[in-house]
Amino acid sequence: MSEAIHATVWNEHTDEQRSGPVAGIYPHGLHTTIAEGLRDLLGGHTTVTTATLDQPGQGLPQPLLENTDVLLWWGHKAHHRVTDETVARVQARVLAGMGLVVLHSGHLSKIFTRLMGTSCNLRWRKADERELVWTVNPTHPIARGVPHPIQIPQQEMYGEFFDIPQPDELVFVSSFTGGEVFRSGCCFTRGNGRIFYFSPGDELYPVYHHPQIRRVLANAVRWAHNPVPSPSVPAGSPQVRGDWFTA
Amino acid sequence: MSEAIHATVWNEHTDEQRSGPVAGIYPHGLHTTIAEGLRDLLGGHTTVTTATLDQPGQGLPQPLLENTDVLLWWGHKAHHRVTDETVARVQARVLAGMGLVVLHSGHLSKIFTRLMGTSCNLRWRKADERELVWTVNPTHPIARGVPHPIQIPQQEMYGEFFDIPQPDELVFVSSFTGGEVFRSGCCFTRGNGRIFYFSPGDELYPVYHHPQIRRVLANAVRWAHNPVPSPSVPAGSPQVRGDWFTA
Amino acid sequence: MSEAIHATVWNEHTDEQRSGPVAGIYPHGLHTTIAEGLRDLLGGHTTVTTATLDQPGQGLPQPLLENTDVLLWWGHKAHHRVTDETVARVQARVLAGMGLVVLHSGHLSKIFTRLMGTSCNLRWRKADERELVWTVNPTHPIARGVPHPIQIPQQEMYGEFFDIPQPDELVFVSSFTGGEVFRSGCCFTRGNGRIFYFSPGDELYPVYHHPQIRRVLANAVRWAHNPVPSPSVPAGSPQVRGDWFTA
Amino acid sequence: MSEAIHATVWNEHTDEQRSGPVAGIYPHGLHTTIAEGLRDLLGGHTTVTTATLDQPGQGLPQPLLENTDVLLWWGHKAHHRVTDETVARVQARVLAGMGLVVLHSGHLSKIFTRLMGTSCNLRWRKADERELVWTVNPTHPIARGVPHPIQIPQQEMYGEFFDIPQPDELVFVSSFTGGEVFRSGCCFTRGNGRIFYFSPGDELYPVYHHPQIRRVLANAVRWAHNPVPSPSVPAGSPQVRGDWFTA
């Protein structure tokens, strides 16, 4: 259970360059802050790389994906700039066993809507509201070591209905000052891959500096890591012989 | 609970024209046989239309979709001929509330893989095997009035792992002579739409003449019908006011 | 789909006799108000009976249970007075196909904890808080025709973690003024029976007079009704012959 | 991820004493063979203890339970000899965080039916049939490193409908020579506890000597281990203050 994990934090990296306030909170980019949190909590057995949209292969060339066990995804304003080729490449790796952790506004990223098959729409409001993140799945590894609730003093509101498939496992439900609720921590499995969507986090609030949010992300990387893809998942739709298994 | 239901049976309608044996079993096309079964069991409150790939708008123009409560989908060899425009049109209607019943080889149709987000691959074998369809969800409306098990004397084998998301509700599990198992009746909800995948059925076996298979399809049309789309599902991702709901 | 439904509303009927305020809100008992709401919305095809703890057989003799399709359960202070014999009798009927709708403080009733296998504990507070009931399962029949959210001006707070098994279907999630969240509408299937737990409702607030809460209860009675128990559910654990099904 | 795990294998230990054939396959008792398999695969970080019905406290005194992280349960003919006190003691520990792995005929044990809330009935046949165990949840830790399918040359048939709640996670589905299917690997969470039911295994077949079955049991012990019970699970149903979490 102590396999080394290669995590890659991908960031479209546009807000930080456009906005003074964002640069103030995340001077080296959200990806750098998220990566630091993972390194602090996951320690030596894990390597954490970062990648951004403007790099070759949109930051996600095939060799990097092949060497990535878990990919974390931050996107916000530039979803449309991610090409269908990049989306197809990432989707194929997820179905083959790479874990994927989709963060906050990534709910509208092409890769998430492609994997979900739904619009992934939601209701939102930017009004400095308090978010409380409640655990509704106490034995889940992603909830391990977090308080009940996690308190985030100021946050963007995300509200139901969140147009996703019913999660395989619902881990967290949040409430906001205005009264909305949101399924803020959702697990999905797809082929040989594991996907975790986590809504807390924003470019205008220091949420990724929050120690308990960092704990959730570290737990998520461990949970999403599939060290041994199962032989049960077929490559294509093969025609098989009768009783082939006894041959 | 007695709303009229408008069902449309769509068929790519290629096997019947290519193959003598298929034409012998389904002389007027699989869509005609499936539609007859629905009319027999659902009676006057339901209207059943048929459509085929070679018709205008690939048989599924927007006005027909707008007037369809539940769409049944048969496809096999011509999945690639369904355009992305048609797929997008059908997907939008499903998320807006149209039910979808995907049959047998439709597991690789563009519309099903788009809605699932996975490869939908499986293992298969054509060897005249006996299929037994076992109920594992006794209170489910789609299992109502069916024996345990449904026996199909000769059928194509479909075997696990079936690369779909974990179903919201697993209704049937099948076994085959060779020893394989398959999740043969799977329910999914997506947005305001309900989707049922049912694997029994083939162009080379008279499965759609089987009275208990017809019962399952009739139950599925009733289950998939969503007469009142919920206001909870947002159009787009709207920004909302604080306490907007009390306004 | 238009089978007649025989519903029975059971009430321990103690609060109304003890407390002036409760009697003011529910002068003829909570069971009478709940039954009136069902009659108004379900109409002629449904018969609604009431029963209370002090009646013979604790209000639930075997003949009444045999003739009940869906049982609604209100209990609060007298859970301990319900005998194990009564609990065993009701549990057997649920597993045989009777629907069960458990209301509010019924979360600690013997019948609910027996069917769930958990403590069914939760956190609570009586502080006249606003409850908002959000739909997270838009196509579910129990959510049909309800607004998003349902607004209850004053209510007792019920908060997570609610110690129940993960629901087969999560329909509603509530928030409260204090910031807590609660899975307020939960579906379970057990054997041939369907169970719905719904937390809104209290003896000190007029929640069962709320037209949208009445809508949910009427929808729940329809959903919980299983008109045709499945032959798949075995009586005991029978030894079976090989290929017995083809005999 | 490398916490030490204290596992206890409990066995009613009656078949081995009654039956020559059973003693031939499991000369030191099923518990000894199961424990050996766990020690071989889990190695130094895990301690494995055994316990039997005839020991003080029916083999499960409170101090042993307090020191047990995961309990494996074999029972067959002596379910009725396990007292309600023992069942209540074990159930309380499961809800508090002890993992439970229920084996084969343990489906009718008092502790399993108490935790499930259903009859846990099934169909069965003893006819030396081949069982094939197919993975339907490829990323699940309990399926890690097992072939597809696991082949068991001779086994007792267990067939659907298995009267359990819908599993939180369905990991394995089996088929048998006679054509029946069975949900043979099922995960449940209850309170702070994790429960895995695994049907392969019998006193008259050497199933617990099968290296791949041993792999599943070792994986199950790791999965069922909850090293850090969540503070979200309440002790009792406490009344809480408004905004207590900010105090």
Shortest CA gap B169–chain A (Å): 11
Residues of C in contact with A159 (CB under 8 A): 134
For residue range C53-86, what is the model confidence (pLDDT) as tens digits? 999 999 999 999 999 999 999 999 999 999 999 9
* Over residues C121-142, mean pLDDT: 97
Residue B148 sits at the chain D interface (C-beta within 8 Å) = yes
Above 80 in pLDDT, residue B246?
no
Mean pLDDT, rounded, of chain D: 95
Q: Which of A95, A139, A230 should we substitute to test contact with D (largest number of D Cβ atoms within 10 Å)?
A: A139
Q: Provide CB contacts within 8 A for C36, sequence distance 6+.
A: none
What local confidence, expressed as pLDDT, does residue D192 receive?
A: 98
What local confidence, expressed as pLDDT, does residue D245 receive?
A: 67
Q: Which of D114, D118, D194, D239 should we substitute to test contact with C (largest number of C Cβ atoms within 10 Å)?
A: D118
Smallest Cβ–Cβ distance between C123 and the set D119, D121, D238 belongs to D238
Residues of D in contact with C243 (CB under 8 A): 178-179
Residue A23 sits at the chain C interface (C-beta within 8 Å) = no
Q: Which of D42, D93, D139 should we substitute to test contact with A (largest number of A Cβ atoms within 10 Å)?
A: D139
| CB burial string C156-173: b at 16+ within 10 A, e below | bbbbbbbbbbbbbbbbbb
For residue range A162-179, what is the model confidence (pLDDT) as tens digits? 999 999 999 999 999 999
Above 80 in pLDDT, residue D136?
yes
Shortest CA gap B119–chain D (Å): 14
End-to-end CA distance of chain B: 32
Distances (CA, A) of A159 to A77, A106, A151, B168, D124: 20, 15, 17, 22, 49
Q: What angle do CA B43, B46, B52 make, to 5 degrees?
A: 115
pTM of the model: 0.97
Residue B194 sits at the chain C interface (C-beta within 8 Å) = yes
Residue D166 sits at the chain C interface (C-beta within 8 Å) = yes
Residues of C in contact with D178 (CB under 8 A): 242-243
Residues of B in contact with A168 (CB under 8 A): 165-166
Smallest Cβ–Cβ distance between D117 and the set C116, C160, C243 belongs to C116
CA distance D96 to D191: 7
Residues of D in contact with A97 (CB under 8 A): 139
CA distance B240 to D196: 44
Shortest CA gap B48–chain A (Å): 27
Backbone angles phi, psi at C87, to 5 degrees: -60, -45
Residue B88 sits at the chain A interface (C-beta within 8 Å) = no
Shortest CA gap A156–chain B (Å): 11
Q: What share of chain B is helix, strand, coil (3-state, %, to 5)?
A: 35, 30, 35
* The two structure tokens encoding residue B188: 């999914």
For residue range B101-142, what is the model confidence (pLDDT) as tens digits? 999 999 999 999 999 999 999 999 999 999 999 999 999 999
Above 50 in pLDDT, residue C1?
no
Residue A143 sits at the chain C interface (C-beta within 8 Å) = no
For residue range C136-147, what is the model confidence (pLDDT) as tens digits? 999 999 999 999
Residue B231 sits at the chain A interface (C-beta within 8 Å) = no
Above 60 in pLDDT, residue C213?
yes
* Over residues D18-26, mean pLDDT: 87
Contact by Cβ (8 Å): D74, D12: yes
Contacting subunits of C (3+ beta carbon pairs below 8 A): A, B, D
CB contact under 8 A, C230 and B138: yes
Shortest CA gap A137–chain C (Å): 8
> What is the DSSP track for D25-67?
HSTT-HHHHHHHHHHHHHGGGEEEEEEETTSGGGG--HHHHHT
Q: How confident is the model at residue B85 (pLDDT cuts 50, 70, 90)?
A: very high
Shortest CA gap B141–chain C (Å): 8
Minimal Cα distance from D188: which residue of C?
C165
Q: Which of B90, B114, B163 should we substitute to test contact with A (largest number of A Cβ atoms within 10 Å)?
A: B163
Residue C166 sits at the chain A interface (C-beta within 8 Å) = yes
Q: In this predicted model, which residue has the larger pLDDT, B3 or C40?
A: C40
Residues of B in contact with A160 (CB under 8 A): 232
Shortest CA gap C45–chain D (Å): 31
The amino acid that residue B131 corresponds to is E
For residue range B59-79, what is the model confidence (pLDDT) as tens digits? 999 999 999 999 999 999 999
* The two structure tokens encoding residue A90: 């990432």
Residue C247 sits at the chain D interface (C-beta within 8 Å) = no
ipTM of predicted assembly, 2 dp: 0.95
Smallest Cβ–Cβ distance between A136 and the set C161, C174, C179 belongs to C161
Q: How confident is the model at residue A43 (pLDDT cuts 50, 70, 90)?
A: confident
Minimal Cα distance from B162: which residue of D?
D136
CB contact under 8 A, C159 and D240: yes
Backbone angles phi, psi at C243, to 5 degrees: 50, 30
CA distance D51 to D69: 14
What local confidence, expressed as pLDDT, does residue D43 receive?
A: 87
Residues of D in contact with B174 (CB under 8 A): 181
Residue B33 sits at the chain C interface (C-beta within 8 Å) = no
Q: How confident is the model at residue C2 (pLDDT cuts 50, 70, 90)?
A: low
For residue range B168-219, what is the model confidence (pLDDT) as tens digits? 999 999 999 999 999 999 999 999 999 999 999 999 999 999 999 999 999 9
Backbone angles phi, psi at A183, to 5 degrees: -80, 95
Contacting subunits of B (3+ beta carbon pairs below 8 A): A, C, D
CB contact under 8 A, B189 and A234: no
Residue D124 sits at the chain C interface (C-beta within 8 Å) = yes
Residues of A in contact with B161 (CB under 8 A): 230, 232-234
Instruction: Enumerate domains of chain B plus CATH numbers.
Output: 5-120+183-224 (3.40.50.880)
B&C contacts, CB < 8 Å: 76
Cα of C147 vs its chain's centroid, Å: 21
The amino acid that residue D214 corresponds to is R
Hey, how many other C-beta atoms are within 10 angstroms of the C-beta on C230?
21
Residues of B in contact with D174 (CB under 8 A): 181
Q: How confident is the model at residue A21 (pLDDT cuts 50, 70, 90)?
A: confident
CA distance A81 to A109: 10
Residue A88 sits at the chain B interface (C-beta within 8 Å) = no
Above 60 in pLDDT, residue A1?
no
Shortest CA gap C147–chain B (Å): 7
Shortest CA gap B140–chain C (Å): 9
In 3D, which of A32, A71, A72 has the Cα closest to residue A209?
A32
Q: Which of D119, D136, D176 should we substitute to test contact with B (largest number of B Cβ atoms within 10 Å)?
A: D136
CB contact under 8 A, A139 and D194: yes
In 3D, which of A204, A141, A207 has the Cα closest to residue A174?
A207
Minimal Cα distance from D122: which residue of C?
C237
Residue D226 sits at the chain A interface (C-beta within 8 Å) = yes
